[in-house]
């Protein structure tokens, strides 16, 4: 026994299982990548960036020390016409810049710098400036010979010592940067290898999931196609049954009840003639006869509304010529009706479905659009029949929930005659409903 589509295995479980595996792999790999990125950030921010900033400050210090060296060489030149005190201002400017550079270098110094290394440069700089202060003090007292001796014996040696210390620190920074670069390259290589493995596993998972999904989709689409065919066949039968029922009810109302009410009216008329004119019974019979005639008129109107006889007898054009003025009288809606093209015979099924589409569209205009006018256009084209209903009211958005069922019915009827139903918004606003039925395909599907 064949299984129903509902009893067949759903691909949901397999897809969820594959999704969970993929998500777990993504989470695990993301954790790994995050850890590696944190390591890289630590190397780059805490070591390499600080190392480079520290090197810049060390170069600044070395440049100032070289400048001091040049200044002291000029001070030892006895051919200079200036006294030694003339260089005190330059020494003060260099001293301020060196102090600022030392403070900045202390902030950027790498973590593996020892406390002795940190203190050596500061202590050497303090001793240098103490010796410089003694030198300028001797010069101010006129003892320039002793001052130059202080420069040769103390200041120059201390300046060379500090320059050598700064050079060693620069070499250490360079070595640290090279080591960090090697570690970064190692991390990148490891991450690259892991990325290839992860991509391979992910592609394999995607391939397997895709194959499973394709297989499942093919089965589901086959089921959908079967169900769609069954739905279309059922819709055709329901609409055909509905039209047949409405036609029979309309005929019964028109023929049976109409004949009965006509006979009752005739009998009441003959009975009234046999009653004296001044008798109260004559007026009562006339009133009953008018009620019977009003009921007959209502039944005929109801019969025409259920299934207009004129549609079977005279076709779509004549039905629209009768129906549209009737709608105007009953609803007060102003309808502008246009026909164009060389008329051709319209199949009975196409005629009834087009008539129902027109009914539903005008009903939506009256109930939901708020418009007071509508435009109906019937076009006989070389290859198709077109029916348009246009209004300039609120549009579909304002009443989408209210006319959803009617819209579905109109689309079903269009499909049953091999046509299409289009809804659009005119430039003036509102809704334009356009039914297109091929001229050579006006038989319902399945016949």
For residue range 355-383, list pLDDT tens digits in order.
889 988 998 899 888 889 999 999 999 99
pLDDT at 132 over 70: yes
Using the predicted structure, report yes or no on whether residue 400 has a pLDDT greater than 50. Answer: no
pLDDT-derived band at 300 (thresholds 50, 70, 90) equals low
- How far is it, in rounded angstroms, from Cα 252 to Cα 249? 5
- Residue 392 has which token pair? 């300039």
Tell me the three state secondary structure of residue 114. Answer: coil
Q: Is the pLDDT of residue 443 over 50?
A: no
Across residues 34-61, what is the average pLDDT? 76
Yes or no: say if 135 and 124 are a contact pair by the CB < 8 Å rule. no
Give the three-class secondary structure for 81.
coil
Tokens standing for residue 172 = 């250490």
Q: At what angle do helices 280-306 and 156-252 cross, to 10 degrees?
A: 130
Q: Tell me the three state secondary structure of residue 401.
A: coil
Query: pLDDT tens digits, residue range 149-170?
Result: 888 888 888 888 888 888 888 8
Helix or strand (DSSP H, E) at 12: helix 12-41
Instruction: Give the pLDDT confidence of 179-189 residue by residue, as tens digits.
Output: 777 877 777 78
Looking at residue 338, its pLDDT comes to 93
231 vs 276: CA distance, rounded Å: 66
**Among 342, 364, 360, which residue's Cα sits nearest to residue 409?**
360
What are the residue ranges spanned by the domains of the chain? 12-214, 308-438
State how far the Cα of 242 lies from the Cα of 240, in Å rounded to an integer: 5
Contact between 264 and 223 under an 8 Å Cβ cutoff? The reply is no
Q: Which CATH number fits domain 308-438: 3.20.20.120, 3.40.50.2000, 3.30.565.10, 3.20.20.450?
A: 3.30.565.10
Please state the separation of Cα 126 from the chain's center in Å: 67
pLDDT for 177 equals: 77
Predicted pLDDT at 253:
67
- Where is average pLDDT lowest: 3-17, 115-129, 294-308, 340-354? 3-17
Q: Rounded to whole angstroms, how far apart are CA atoms 427 and 202?
A: 51
- Give the pLDDT confidence score for residue 374 in this predicted structure: 93
Mean pLDDT to the nearest integer, 108-113: 66
Beta bridge partners of 312: none
Percent of the chain with pLDDT over 70: 85
Question: Which overall architecture, per CATH, does domain 12-214 show?
Answer: Up-down Bundle (1.20)
Q: What is residue 44's predicted lDDT score, i.e. its pLDDT?
A: 66
């Amino acid at each position: 026994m064949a299984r129903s589509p509902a009893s067949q295995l759903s691909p949901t479980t397999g897809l969820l299982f594959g999704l969970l595996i993929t998500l777990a792999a993504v989470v695990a790999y993301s954790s790994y990548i995050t850890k590696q990125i944190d390591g890289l950030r630590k190397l780059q921010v805490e070591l390499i960036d600080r190392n480079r900033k520290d090197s810049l400050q060390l170069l600044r210090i070395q440049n100032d020390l070289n400048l001091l060296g040049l200044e002291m060489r000029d001070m030892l030149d006895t051919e200079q016409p200036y006294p030694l005190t003339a260089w005190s201002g330059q020494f003060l400017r260099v001293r301020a810049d060196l102090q600022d550079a030392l403070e900045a270098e202390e902030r950027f110094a790498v973590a593996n710098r020892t406390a002795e290394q940190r203190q050596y440069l500061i202590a050497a700089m303090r001793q240098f400036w103490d010796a410089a202060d003694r030198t300028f003090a001797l010069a101010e007292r006129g003892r320039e010979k002793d001052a130059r001796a202080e420069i040769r014996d103390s200041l120059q040696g201390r300046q060379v010592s500090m320059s050598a210390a700064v050079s060693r620190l620069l070499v250490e920074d360079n070595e640290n940067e090279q080591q960090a670069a090697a570690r970064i390259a190692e991390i990148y290589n490891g991450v690259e290898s892991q990325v290839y493995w992860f991509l391979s596993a992910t592609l394999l998972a995607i391939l397997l999931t895709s194959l499973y999904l394709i297989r499942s989709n093919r089965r589901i689409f086959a089921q959908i196609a079967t169900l769609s065919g069954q739905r279309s066949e059922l819709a055709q039968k329901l609409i055909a049954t509905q039209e047949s029922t409405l036609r029979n009810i309309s005929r019964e109302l028109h023929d049976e009840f109409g004949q009965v009410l006509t006979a009752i009216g005739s009998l009441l008329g003959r009975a009234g003639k046999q009653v004296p004119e001044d008798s109260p019974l004559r007026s009562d019979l006339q009133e009953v006869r008018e009620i019977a005639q009003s009921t007959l008129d209502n039944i005929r109107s109801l019969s025409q509304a259920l299934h207009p006889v004129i549609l079977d007898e005279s076709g779509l054009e004549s039905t629209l010529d009768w129906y549209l003025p009737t709608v105007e009288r009953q609803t007060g809606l102003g309808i502008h009706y246009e026909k164009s093209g060389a008329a051709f015979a319209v199949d009975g099924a196409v005629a009834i479905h087009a008539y129902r589409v027109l009914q539903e569209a005008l009903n939506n205009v009256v109930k939901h659009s708020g418009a007071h006018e509508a435009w109906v256009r019937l076009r006989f084209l070389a290859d198709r029949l077109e029916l348009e209903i246009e209004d300039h009211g609120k549009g579909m958005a304002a009443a989408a929930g209210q006319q959803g069922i009617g819209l579905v019915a109109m689309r079903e009827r269009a499909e049953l005659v091999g046509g299409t139903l289009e809804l659009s918004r005119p430039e003036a606003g509102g809704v334009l409903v356009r039914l297109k039925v091929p001229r050579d395909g006006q038989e319902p599907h399945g016949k």
